[in-house]
Amino acid sequence: MSTPSSSAEVSMETIVALCKRRGFIFQSSEIYGGLNGFFDYGPLGVELKKNIRDCWWNDMVRRREDIVGIESSIIMHPKVWEASGHVAGFTDPLVDCKVSKQRFRADQLFFSPVVIDGKTAGYVSALESENTAAELQAAAETFKRKKALQGALAPVEPRDMTEARPEEIPQIPSPATGEPGSLTPPRAFNMMFETYVGALRDASAVAYLRPETAQGMFVDFKNVVDTGRVKLPFGIAQTGKSFRNEITPRNFIFRSREFEQMEMEYFIHEDADWEKCHKEWIEWCRRWLISIGLPESHLSLYDHPKAKLAFYSRGTTDIMYKYPFGVQELWGIAARGAYDLTQHANASGKPQEIFDEATRKKFVPHVIEPAVGVDRIFLAVLCSAYAEEQVADEKGKAETRTVLRLSPRIAPVKVAVLPLLKNKEHLVARAQELYKKVKRKYTAFYDESGAIGRRYRRQDEIGTPWCVTIDFDTIEKDGTFTLRDRDTMQQKRISEPELFAMLDEQVW
């Protein structure tokens, strides 16, 4: 009776419209025209986001013996960012289009020569997407047709702009205008936001909004070791805002300039089997994403090629998610050796070592770092949960229902409590009583307006897993209510203790 649409079919327009309509996400400063790369989370969005963060914190920190949490400051000593390499190297390659004044990231701007009968007839370009090669091929064919060129077109081999030779740059068309000649060579653009601390506005007062939360864990490493009774292997975790002046914020909250991270540094012995530990963390992260409802079929792994890794990095694997705009990085799991602690030890002059009782030696631990963005999980969760189904209404008439199949673990509202009729005092009183009781522990919503079917639909659209209806049988018979399941739309009678037992089991 229902035909769910798969998440791959959901467009970003649909998700953005739902977010605005139901109060998940708004544009930041919307009444002033918005600010590119910044977003506000509305009443439902803030609950969903908090639930994602809380699930991560509970599973990553509270339910484990070997991981502790911290909350470091957003603005840290500028030397932190010098030692970490961010001041010198936290850059993206920036390309300007002098005509349109648009800016692009060179590593996301692909180009290819159009080769006809072995000769270069011109160039085509495309912005990063899953189908770059296909897009360039189509552009090459259009180019040939427009210029009425004869001959066989050689297959395109996309390269990104960071690989362009200087003589090729003037020939690459700008994606903004379609014409060559306006793109500048790529230059390094530092993504950190600068500010000033204190009343002076000179170089000595410059500070940065953190571009990642990870450095907080490294800088506090010794404090935690000296006070926390931790023993290797152990982790330090934190969640919090990070800021990056992204050149091209896009794809809604996927790439924004202010976002939230959940990061954990897992410290291991210098002689430990880091590859095994790295693999275990990749699997832990993958399993965790599935536990909050992401479909396994949409997750994949990408191992960064050795040649592209930073010199200190031993290996990085990204968990990729199939978003409507392509397969993109969701969670990066990096094996960083002893690099970060060593950098801070050298820059601060304070050793960042641990004493090994077995060998009676001091050493700098190595680290495995799973780093993920809450907003990227939020978007993946919405895209995978969204479905439109053809169903029959109460009178048997076909209608479309929009449903968010969110896991009960993260759904913003767990239960909606509905009196069957709003003008029956005893129904309303019992519904209010139950609502207040549920609300002590779980997010609940009380709704008495409109036909019961309409009320169910409103809850379906925001992902509420269960609706409880108080009807005449509740009052006149055994006190049970109707429990309606969001996904199956099946209804059954349930008692109050059974309701709470079910919630305890499913919301963890």
Ligand X SMILES: Nc1ncnc2c1ncn2[C@@H]1O[C@H](COP(=O)(O)OP(=O)(O)OP(=O)(O)O)[C@@H](O)[C@H]1O
**Which positions touch ligand X (CB under 6 A)?**
212, 244, 246, 255-256, 259, 261, 329-332, 371-373, 375-376
Instruction: Quote the CA–CA distance of 87 and 210 in Å, as a whole number.
Output: 11
Instruction: Quote the CA–CA distance of 55 and 49 in Å, as a whole number.
Output: 10
CB of 209 to ligand X, least distance (A): 13
**What tokens were used for 478?**
């055994």
Q: Which residue, 144 or 244, has its beta carbon nearer to ligand X?
A: 244
Question: Is 254 annotated among the ligand-binding residues?
Answer: yes
User: From residue 361, how far is each of 175, 271, 365, 498, 503 by CA, in Å?
Assistant: 57, 12, 12, 57, 51
Question: Is 256 annotated among the ligand-binding residues?
Answer: yes
Question: Is 349 annotated among the ligand-binding residues?
Answer: no
Nearest 5°: the CA angle 263, 264, 265 is 130
CB of 163 to ligand X, least distance (A): 17
CB of 30 to ligand X, least distance (A): 19
CA dihedral 404, 408, 414, 415 (to 10 degrees): 80
CB of 108 to ligand X, least distance (A): 10
Question: Is 212 annotated among the ligand-binding residues?
Answer: yes
Name the pairing type of β-strands 119-127 and 109-116. Answer: antiparallel
Read off the amino acid at residue 433: E
Q: Which residues contact 174 (CB under 8 A, 6 or more apart)?
A: 97, 99, 100, 102, 125, 180, 182, 183
Q: Which residue, 47 or 258, has its beta carbon nearer to ligand X?
A: 258
Q: Which residue, 317 or 352, has its beta carbon nearer to ligand X?
A: 317
Question: Is 329 annotated among the ligand-binding residues?
Answer: yes
Please give the full DSSP string across 268-294, using - where no structure is assigned: E-TTS-HHHHHHHHHHHHHHHHHHTT-
Question: Is 257 annotated among the ligand-binding residues?
Answer: yes
Question: Is 246 annotated among the ligand-binding residues?
Answer: yes
User: From residue 304, how far is each of 188, 320, 321, 332 by CA, in Å?
Assistant: 21, 12, 16, 10
Q: Which residue, 174 or 248, has its beta carbon nearer to ligand X?
A: 248
Identify the bridge partners of residue 362 per DSSP, sorted by sequence position. 355
> Helices marked H in 126-220 — which ranges?
132-146, 214-219
Question: Is 351 annotated among the ligand-binding residues?
Answer: no
CB of 61 to ligand X, least distance (A): 18
CB of 478 to ligand X, least distance (A): 50
Question: Is 364 annotated among the ligand-binding residues?
Answer: no
CB of 64 to ligand X, least distance (A): 21
Q: Does the bond joining 233 to the residue before it have cis omega, within 30 degrees of 0?
A: yes
Q: Which residue, 96 or 375, has its beta carbon nearer to ligand X?
A: 375
Q: Which residue, 261 or 352, has its beta carbon nearer to ligand X?
A: 261
Q: Which residue, 318 or 471, has its beta carbon nearer to ligand X?
A: 318
**Cβ(334)–Cβ(310) under 8 Å?**
no
Measuring CA to CA, which residue among 280, 329, 367, 298 is closest to residue 9?
A: 298
Is the alpha carbon torsion for 288, 294, 300, 301 positive or negative? negative
Q: Which residue, 45 or 373, has its beta carbon nearer to ligand X?
A: 373
Q: Which residue, 104 or 445, has its beta carbon nearer to ligand X?
A: 104
CB of 223 to ligand X, least distance (A): 24
Q: Which residue, 72 or 182, has its beta carbon nearer to ligand X?
A: 72
CB of 139 to ligand X, least distance (A): 25
Phi/psi at 158 (5° precision): -65, 140
Instruction: Quote the CA–CA distance of 257 and 99 in Å, as a whole number.
Output: 25
- Strand (E) positions, 157-205? 159-160, 187-190, 194-196
**Cβ(364)–Cβ(270) under 8 Å?**
yes
Question: Is 375 annotated among the ligand-binding residues?
Answer: yes
Question: Is 271 annotated among the ligand-binding residues?
Answer: no
Question: Is 22 annotated among the ligand-binding residues?
Answer: no
Q: Which residue, 41 or 331, has its beta carbon nearer to ligand X?
A: 331
Question: Is 263 annotated among the ligand-binding residues?
Answer: yes
Question: Is 330 annotated among the ligand-binding residues?
Answer: yes
User: From residue 289, how far is each of 55, 298, 374 by CA, in Å?
Assistant: 10, 11, 11
CB of 289 to ligand X, least distance (A): 11
Instruction: Quote the CA–CA distance of 299 and 81 in Å, as a whole number.
Output: 33
Task: Quote the distance between the C-alpha of residue 238 and its chain's center.
Answer: 16
> Helices marked H in 158-230 — which ranges?
214-219, 221-227
CB of 355 to ligand X, least distance (A): 31
Measuring CA to CA, which residue among 268, 398, 284 is closest to residue 335?
A: 268
Residue least distant from ligand X (Cβ): 373
Residue ranges for the known binding site are 105, 212, 244-246, 254-263, 329-330, 369-376
Annotated binding site for ATP: 244-246, 254-259, 329-330, 373-376
- Binding-site members for substrate are 105, 212, 259-263, 369-373
